[in-house]
């Protein structure tokens, strides 16, 4: 599942990177990798019993046209800061370019996750499997999974 999650993040990031001017051609793959790694690290940070409601709320609010600062809340804002910091320090991108990437990628990825969770065509891709993969815990009977199940009416 982690590979699926990372693949979705990288795909969305590549689409964004290709459409934002100011990213040198030789830095595009590094930008995609750094953005995906930073976003995955942020998601893992919020996949804890203490933060699970923030993560599930973020997934529930995702929309393709939202920006990280316009309604996705403190989780998305924190993710955005992490991505921007990584892109400026590791890749050497200008902060305005890094901000454009983060503010485009994060809401788009959250909306994509929500769409896949709600879709049901891929029964292996559900909120429980996402959280389980991020925490390294899968199956039933653990606290995080029970919490996800209760939040989403045993959907996870």
**pLDDT by residue (tens digit) across 55-102?**
766 665 334 434 333 445 778 888 999 999 999 999 999 999 999 999
What is the pLDDT, as a whole number, of residue 11? 93
Per-residue b or e along 46-82, where b marks 16 or more CB atoms closer than 10 Å to that residue's CB: bbeeeebebbbebbebbeeebebeeebeebbeebbeb
Report the SS3 class of residue 3.
helix
Confidence of residue 146 (pLDDT cuts 50, 70, 90): low
What is the pLDDT, as a whole number, of residue 59? 63
The two structure tokens encoding residue 62: 């995702």
> CB–CB of 39/84 below 8 Å?
no
What does the mean pLDDT of the chain come to?
A: 78
**How many other C-beta atoms are found inside a 10 Å radius of the C-beta of residue 42?**
21
CA-based torsion, 12, 16, 19, 23: positive or negative: negative
Is it the case that residue 19 has pLDDT exceeding 60? yes
> CB–CB of 48/135 below 8 Å?
yes
């Amino acid at each position: 599942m982690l590979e699926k999650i990372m693949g979705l993040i990288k795909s969305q990031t590549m689409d964004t990177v290709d459409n934002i001017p100011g990213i040198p051609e030789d830095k595009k793959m590094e930008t995609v990798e750094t953005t995906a790694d930073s976003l995955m690290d942020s998601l893992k940070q919020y996949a804890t019993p203490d933060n699970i409601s923030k993560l599930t709320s973020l997934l529930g609010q995702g929309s393709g046209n939202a920006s990280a600062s316009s309604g996705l809340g403190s989780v998305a804002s924190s993710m955005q800061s992490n991505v921007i910091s990584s892109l400026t320090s590791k890749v050497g991108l200008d902060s305005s370019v890094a901000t454009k990437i983060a503010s485009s990628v994060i809401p788009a990825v959250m909306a994509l996750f929500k769409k896949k969770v709600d879709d049901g065509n891929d029964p292996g891709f559900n909120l429980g499997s996402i959280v389980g993969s991020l925490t390294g815990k899968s199956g039933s009977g653990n606290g995080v999974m029970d919490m996800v199940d209760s939040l989403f009416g045993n959907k996870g």
